[in-house]
Structure 1
Amino acid sequence: MEIFLEAKSTFYKALEEIINRAYEKGTISQKEIYDVLTKYNCNFPVIEDRVFARNGSYQKNIYVLKRHDSKTYRLRIDTKIEPYVTNLEIMWLKLIMSSRYAELFLDSSTIEKIKKLKTAYVPPIDMSLIVPKNYSKILGREDIKNIAPKLKMVLRSILEKRLLRYTYIARQGQVFKNVVGIPVKIQYSLKDDMFYIIFYSLEHKTFAKCIIQGIENMTYEEGNFDREQVLKEYELYLKNAKAKQPIIIEVMNTKNALEKAFCMFSSFEKSARYLKEKNKHEIRIYYYEFEEAEIISRILYLGKSVVVTQPQHIRENIISRVRNALKVYCDNYMV
């Protein structure tokens, strides 16, 4: 029955939680059952009658519970529902195994377990359709064997609250030697398939976003610091850096522009709505001021399918850049 298919029914999840709670505790109260049904939006009379076996028709009742006393129930069969994966989930797991980053975040034993999962049918997937191709023209994709040690050092530094000393080579070629910082966050950009590390500099009391390819000579640095205080400073920094209004764009759903827009801005907080009168989608992008140049670059990448409506200074910036590009093009390529 579809009511028991996890992918199609929230009632399955509600019943699974009720059974497992009753199994773990020995009994489950009537209030707890109601709370679970409410949590999954299943708290309506037909479902309640089936769970509590109050329905006049025997076949419409679900006989998993039996009354223990006036306020609690027990399971009729002393067993719980073991977790399982659906065919769709197996397909997804096998797909992520094709990523070159899988070994960075999963142990070999977990990878082997996923490889052994079997499903009735897994259709072939052309990875060239979904793997990002808009790689940086300045920095190439670093070999996974070179990325792994860096990421592991950063993760260990975060978990163990340790300082890192490193040298950073920026995209424009500037070299920052022997910087001492605290890694606060790891970010991944789907747009250009790169990892970024956000460091907090103890010396300058500021935050820097570094491309992992540009980080060299990382070593652990001895020293004491209050990590909780650093995180508070980080949150305050983000709060003060948040743009006062979002960038609002209108996207025509042509040439997959809408899908591209959601992909390009997947790492940003955003909201969207359909403008029926214009047959366009409006996307509001909430961002930090230091991300403005990056957002403008992504908007330009989407081309004429996107129009910026607000704020005015972003519109003027994009118009200016387009005009300059046209001027350079016309000056160099006479038609």
Structure 2
Amino acid sequence: MNPFEKIFNHQIISRLEDSGTFMVTSHERSWLKTMLDHPAAADAFTAETLDKLRSLLEPDPVMDTSSHLIEKARMREKQVYHPLLRTLRRHMMNKSGIRLTYEVKGGRVNQDHSGFPYKLEYSMVKREWYLLWYHTRHGAFMSTRLRKIHSIAAEPVDPSAAESILKKIGTLLDSRNTEVVIEVVPGYNGELSRILYAFSCFEKHVAYDDEHDTYRIRVCLLEDEFEYLLSKLRFLGKRVRVAEGDYLQKRMLESSTKALERYGVMTRDEELTS
């Protein structure tokens, strides 16, 4: 019998998860203790949580990274973590209103605007966090970059008013939502996991057509997310095709036509007219 078999037993892991137990290895504990010395730890955790983690990890050794990690030359990149994330998550969890001062295009600053935080969203294209919130005075659904927020504070909201705002946000989002259907070309069914990973940030439903051996992915998205979806479709290339979605089909046709023209290949329409 493999002595480590029980570590990977699905039933045991499931029961541990149900009881709120989380298994960590000694290496993971050492890594966490080392990372807690990083200056960013003070922004990622509250002082109470940070002290508790350090106390729990006191018996563990610090990971020696001197002979294992070598930092080579790299491009300057934006940090994924933002100090406002924890604060905003608490406001959303408590269904609290907010009063924020934020910068808009042109450098103008809007002072002390009341709103209701709805969701935090990370843009893979622009590599930064956005706050989706409801502007209570204008009755508009807003999207603001976290780096453009100058200050934020909690503002009490009556529970019934909070529920009413959430319903309004749901109605606004439903009106802006659209669906497209993407088919996986049968010859690439073996790459389904990779293809689904490309669409992992979208709400989707996958169906299998047994008769035609075809997977159909129904993707639900907002109109301002089309460009990002297009970048994923271009990345996947001939593995997928847009089965439903006039706008996406048109954009993919334009991209394909321009690519063919760039290499001097005539399209069918050009052949018919020549």
- Does the alignment reach a TM-score above 0.5? yes
Deviations 1:2-31 (A, max 9, x none): 8x92632427866998xx9xxxxxxxxxxx
Query: TM-score with structure 2 length normalisation?
Result: 0.61
Provide the alpha-carbon RMSD of the alignment.
5.0
Contact 2:44 2:86 in 1 (8 A): no
CA distance in structure 2 between the aligned counterparts of 1:263 and 1:115, rounded to whole angstroms:
38
Offset at 1:102? 7.0
The 3 A distance-change label for structure 1 pair 199 and 324 is: farther
Aligned to 2:171: 236
Aligned to 1:167: 102
The 3 A distance-change label for structure 1 pair 157 and 88 is: same
Aligned to 2:118: 184
Aligned to 1:210: 144
Q: Does 1:141 align with 2:78?
A: yes
Identity %: 18
The 3 A distance-change label for structure 1 pair 222 and 189 is: closer
CA distance in structure 2 between the aligned counterparts of 1:182 and 1:84, rounded to whole angstroms:
33
Larger Rg: 1
The 3 A distance-change label for structure 1 pair 322 and 115 is: farther
Structure 2 residue matching 1:217: 3-state secondary structure: strand
Structure 1: which amino acid aligns with 2:23? V
Q: 1:201 aligns with which of 135, 138, 145?
A: 135
The 3 A distance-change label for structure 1 pair 161 and 300 is: same
Higher relative contact order (CA 8 A, sep 6+): 2
CA distance in structure 2 between the aligned counterparts of 1:100 and 1:188, rounded to whole angstroms:
23
Structure 2: which amino acid aligns with 1:10? Q
Aligned to 2:50: 108
CA distance in structure 1 between the aligned counterparts of 2:164 and 2:231, rounded to whole angstroms:
34
Deviations 1:101-158 (A, max 9, x none): 876554324654469679xxxxxx99x9xxxx9x9xxxx61585xx21x324423443
CA distance in structure 1 between the aligned counterparts of 2:123 and 2:59, rounded to whole angstroms:
30
Aligned to 1:63: none
Query: TM-score with structure 1 length normalisation?
Result: 0.52
Contact 2:182 2:218 in 1 (8 A): yes
Structure 1: which amino acid aligns with 2:11? T
Structure 2 residue matching 1:5: 3-state secondary structure: helix
**Aligned residue pairs, count:** 242
